[in-house]
Amino acid sequence: MIPAAEDPALELRNVSRRFGKTVALDGVSLTIGAGEIICLVGRSGCGKSTLLRMIAGVDTIDAGRILLNGDEVSGPSIFVEPEDRKIGFVFQDYALFPHLTVEQNILFGLRGRPKKAAAYRANEILDHIGIEHLKARYPHMLSGGEQQRAALARALAPQPDILLMDEPFSNLDRGLRDRVRDETLSLLRRLGTTVIMVTHDPEEALSAGDRIVLMRSGGIVQTGSGYDLHDRPVNPYAAEFFCAFNKVPGVFREGHVETAIGRFAQRLELGEGSPATLYIRPQGISVSRGGGQFRGHVQSRVFLGDVEQLAVKVDGLEQPLLVKTMLRLEAGTDLVGLVVSPESCLAFPAA
Ligand SMILES: Nc1ncnc2c1ncn2[C@@H]1O[C@H](COP(=O)(O)OP(=O)(O)OP(=O)(O)O)[C@@H](O)[C@H]1O
């Protein structure tokens, strides 16, 4: 990972934006290093698109400052127009001009350059992205993956310092999405482009970027690597964004959360006897036909392919435990043994 503070391509200092009574951004501060690939995630309405729009300069901020390569572009007494910010944008729907060919779409982003230089650059980027053979086609003659690449070529042609991508792969079906994403990100890494990519998909965020920025209600909840956010979430919102945990009520005593299904060692800044909630990953509970630390009744089963998801009713717990298992239980199996792996657990003070 590239240390963010060393060579900042972008700095947000206490950036705020309201729409009427809605606080879309609430004092956001963030530093992004040159060449870093950032995944911006968070539930719908948390302010991701607003943040991209403020950085691009297609909207103004109410307070704070935005600096690109050390130069202020938005602030109390300055506003640099979007076309002067050297920022590229790839939208979810690609926003290619339907009446222009791929090459003309790319040339549109290069207007203002001498004709020969623009044509040379357009060919260079078509070649880089591997879509030379598509240059004479109109957008409706392209597949989803090809449109995505054409939109990327158009955004990269003017050699932006920063590329902003708003859900750039969400229109592609699953198989194609993984391939196009991997290709796109490895190209962007080769070019050393600084990227901020918005995604709804937690798995995509964990695997794609150098750093994840998790937002909630206009603020940043946590930033860090995929491992940081997945394994060491700072609060229940961060934890639940990346995993559908089982939540088991308990009490914190002598460094353990005591629950109806056992005692689990956990570090918590909590007084003795305080209520705490144990968070258990569904894949951290193993199932067997006999034995186990405790037993439960299988209520339902959903076949997910590699694993089966069981809902298991356990004495003392209000909610059934969700368990992901590779074990193939016979149809009609009722009673199972369960073991919780301590590494799959987190705990937070009870809400
Ligand atoms: N032009 C606007 N006028 C009024 N409210 C707005 C405007 N733009 C955004 N908002 C509000 O600001 C908040 C943040 O919106 P934003 O689009 O940034 O969220 P988001 O995280 O990108 O959501 P999604 O994942 O659904 O795209 C929301 O409550 C939204 O309704």
**Domain map of the chain by residue range?**
8-240, 243-349
Phi-psi region of 332 (alpha: psi -120 to 50; beta: other; left: phi over 0): left
Give dist(CA 290, CA 205) in Å, integer. 38
What pLDDT shows up at residue 6? 64
Quick one: CA dihedral 2, 56, 164, 26, positive or negative? positive
Supply the residue whose CA is at minimum distance from atom 23 of ligand 1: 45
CATH code of the domain occupying 8-240: 3.40.50.300
Using the predicted structure, report yes or no on whether residue 1 has a pLDDT greater than 50: no
| Closest atom, ligand 1, to C-alpha of 59 | 1
Distance from Cα 251 to the centre of ligand 1, integer Å = 39
Residue to mutate (ligand 1; options 17, 26, 40, 50; most atoms within 8 A of CB): 50
Using the predicted structure, report yes or no on whether residue 277 has a pLDDT greater than 60: yes
Residue 121 φ then ψ, to 5°? -65, -40
DSSP 330: P
Give dist(CA 37, CA 195) in Å, integer. 5
Q: Is ipTM strictly over 0.85? A: yes
The mean of the pLDDT values for the chain is: 91
pLDDT in tens, 231-254: 999 999 999 999 999 999 999 999
Give dist(CA 160, CA 140) in Å, integer. 26
Give dist(CA 300, CA 309) in Å, integer. 8
DSSP 132: G
Written as one string, the DSSP assignment of 150-209 is: HHHHHHHTT--SEEEEESTTTTS-HHHHHHHHHHHHHHHHHHT-EEEEE-S-HHHHHHH-
CATH architecture of 243-349: Beta Barrel (2.40)
Distance of CA 336 to the CA centre of its chain: 36
Distance from Cα 122 to the centre of ligand 1, integer Å = 34
H-helix or E-strand spanning residue 125: helix 115-129
Give dist(CA 284, CA 267) in Å, integer. 19
Q: Which two tokens stand for residue 39?
A: 């995944």
Distance of CA 26 to the CA centre of its chain: 20
pLDDT in tens, 134-147: 999 999 999 888 89
Using the predicted structure, report yes or no on whether residue 255 has a pLDDT greater than 50: yes
Using the predicted structure, report yes or no on whether residue 3 has a pLDDT greater than 60: no
DSSP 320: P
| Ligand 1 site, CB within 6 A | 19, 22, 24, 42, 44-50
Phi-psi region of 180 (alpha: psi -120 to 50; beta: other; left: phi over 0): alpha
pLDDT in tens, 118-134: 999 999 999 888 899 99
pLDDT in tens, 257-271: 999 999 999 999 999
Q: With contact defined as beta carbons under 8 Å apart, do 188 and 149 qualify?
A: no
Supply the residue whose CA is at minimum distance from atom 26 of ligand 1: 44
Phi-psi region of 63 (alpha: psi -120 to 50; beta: other; left: phi over 0): beta
Burial letters 237-273, b for 16+ CB under 10 A, else e: bbbebbbebbbbbbbbeeebbbbebbbbebeeebeee
